[in-house]
Structure 1
Amino acid sequence: MTSTSQDRLRIDKWLWRVRVAKTRTSAAKLVADGYVRINGTKTDSPAKTVKAGDVLTIALERTVRVYRVLELGGRRGPAAEAQALYEDLSPEPPQG
């Protein structure tokens, strides 16, 4: 089975749509600088694609977020719409 453009999306676009980054350029930089893993594999290519079911590990300034892609979304909408595109699997922050 071949994949179509509707079942995959560039990682930088997806990160921007779910509001991990404020701009698509900053999302691309996050990926290019090596702060994103797709299914446990480090990637530095903003053009790398993701699909529903992929697990992304994103190292941010003071936290690590782990998201399972549920949907790709059609636009960058409000926060509530963005949150419906992923399942947050992030570990609980340490107490203390």
Structure 2
Amino acid sequence: MSKAMSTSAERKMRKDLIRLRMDMYRQQLLYHSQPVRHPLSGITSLLFSSNRSSKVGEESAGSPMWIGAATVFLALFGKRLGKVGKLARLAITAYPLVLKIKSPR
């Protein structure tokens, strides 16, 4: 068994330590429960954010997530959409070229 604390200063330090631990656990729970509490914010950040590059002058290697989703959708259902599907597939194909032309060098 642990020996009883003799001074009130030791008890106060122990209480402070327990309060700090409880606060740390509370913050961890809040952080890890964010995707459950706000699922749409995670989905929208995935769909509408481009690939972030770490260096300022570096070009992004990938394309936004919605471009990949649109490509998969058009690959599956593009022929059923007729002329609209053909135009959309052409637009998806030309999108990286337009970005390359628009981006400053």
Q: TM-score range by the shorter chain?
A: under 0.3
When normalised by structure 1's length, the TM-score is 0.20
When normalised by structure 2's length, the TM-score is 0.19
Name the structure, 1 or 2, with higher relative contact order (CA <8 Å, separation 6+). Answer: 1
* Greater helix fraction, Structure 1 or Structure 2: 2
